[in-house]
Amino acid sequence: MLRVIQAIGLTSNPRKELPPAVDDVSFEAHAGRVTALLGAPGAGKTTVLRLMLELQRGRGVTHFRGRPLHRIAYPSREVGVLLGEVPGHPGRTVRGHLRMLCAAAGAPIRRADEILEAVGLVSLRDERLGSLSRGTDRRLGLACALLADPHTLVLDDPAGGLSTSESRWLHDALRAYATQGGTVLYATADPKETARTADRVVTLERGRLVADQEAADFSRTRLRPRVAVRTPHATRLAALLAKEARTTHRSIEVVREGGNRLSVYGSTCADVGEVAFRNGVPVHQLADETGDMGPGAGVPQARAAQARSSAAPQPSTGGPHEPPTQAPSFVAPRSPTAGPREPSTQTAPSSAAAPKALTGGPHEPSTPAPTSAAPEPPTDGLPKPQPSRASQKTHQTLQPQQSPEPLHTPGPFNPAVPAPGASSPLPPPISVRSAPSPLRPLRYEFRRAVGIATGFVTGAVVLVASAVTAVLLARVGHTPQPRLLAAWPRELPLPPAALGAGLLGALAFGDEFRHPALAADRGTVPRRLGLLTAKLLVAAATALLLAVLTVGCDAQVLYLFYGRDLAEVPADWPTLGAGWICLVVGCAWAGVLAAGVFRSTTAGLAAVVAVPVLVVPLVQAVWEGHSVRTAADFPLRLREVLLTQWPFGGERYVEAVMLALAQPVGSALMLSLATLLCAYLVTTLRGRVR
Domain assignment present for 205: no
Residues in the chain: 690
Residue 305's contacts (CB-CB under 8 Å, 6 or more residues apart) are 317
**Distance from C-alpha of 18 to C-alpha of 115, rounded to nearest angstrom:** 44
Domain assignment present for 112: no
| Other CB atoms within 10 A of residue 559 CB | 14
**Distance from C-alpha of 366 to C-alpha of 347, rounded to nearest angstrom:** 23
Q: How many helices (H) and strands (E) does the chain have?
A: 22, 13
Crossing angle of the two packed helices 94-105 and 439-450, in degrees rounded to 10? 160
Domain assignment present for 672: yes
Q: What's the pLDDT at 647?
A: 57
Q: What are phi and psi of 383, to 5 degrees?
A: -65, 145
CA atoms within 13 A on the CB side of 352: 3
**Distance from C-alpha of 96 to C-alpha of 49, rounded to nearest angstrom:** 28
Domain assignment present for 608: yes
Domain assignment present for 668: yes
Q: Which domain holds residue 530?
A: 439-687
Residue 579's contacts (CB-CB under 8 Å, 6 or more residues apart) are 656, 659, 660, 663, 666
Q: What's the pLDDT at 296?
A: 42
Crossing angle of the two packed helices 601-610 and 664-687, in degrees rounded to 10? 150
Question: What H or E segment, with its residue span, contains residue 468?
Answer: helix 454-476
Q: What's the pLDDT at 253?
A: 86
Q: What are phi and psi of 159, to 5 degrees?
A: -100, 15
Phi-psi category of residue 614: left, alpha or beta, with phi > 0 → left and psi -120 to 50 → alpha: alpha
Of residues 88, 118, 91, the one with CA closest to residue 100: 88
Question: What H or E segment, with its residue span, contains residue 237?
Answer: helix 234-248
**Distance from C-alpha of 304 to C-alpha of 298, rounded to nearest angstrom:** 6
Strand pairing partners for 443? none
Domain assignment present for 525: yes
Q: What's the pLDDT at 362?
A: 35
Q: What's the pLDDT at 685?
A: 65
Give, in order, the Cα–Cα distances in Å from 259 to each of 231, 262, 279, 285, 287.
Answer: 9, 9, 21, 13, 17
Domain assignment present for 138: no
**Distance from C-alpha of 93 to C-alpha of 450, rounded to nearest angstrom:** 11
At residue 657, what is the residue type? V
| Other CB atoms within 10 A of residue 677 CB | 18
Q: What's the pLDDT at 85?
A: 80
Q: What are phi and psi of 285, to 5 degrees?
A: -150, 140
**Distance from C-alpha of 342 to C-alpha of 352, rounded to nearest angstrom:** 17
The pTM assigned to this predicted structure is 0.67
Q: What's the pLDDT at 3?
A: 59
- Dihedral angle of Cα 52, 56, 58, 64, to the nearest 10 degrees: 20
DSSP 41: T
**Distance from C-alpha of 595 to C-alpha of 600, rounded to nearest angstrom:** 5
**Distance from C-alpha of 469 to C-alpha of 170, rounded to nearest angstrom:** 55
Domain assignment present for 167: no
- Which regions in the chain score pLDDT beneath 50? 1, 293-424, 431-435, 521-525, 643, 689-690
**Distance from C-alpha of 639 to C-alpha of 654, rounded to nearest angstrom:** 10
**Distance from C-alpha of 309 to C-alpha of 325, rounded to nearest angstrom:** 26
Is 195 in contact with 218 (CB distance < 8 Å)?
yes
Residue 594: burial class (beta carbons within 10 Å; 0-12, 13-18, 19+): buried
Q: What is the count of structural domains for the chain?
A: 1
Q: What's the pLDDT at 538?
A: 94
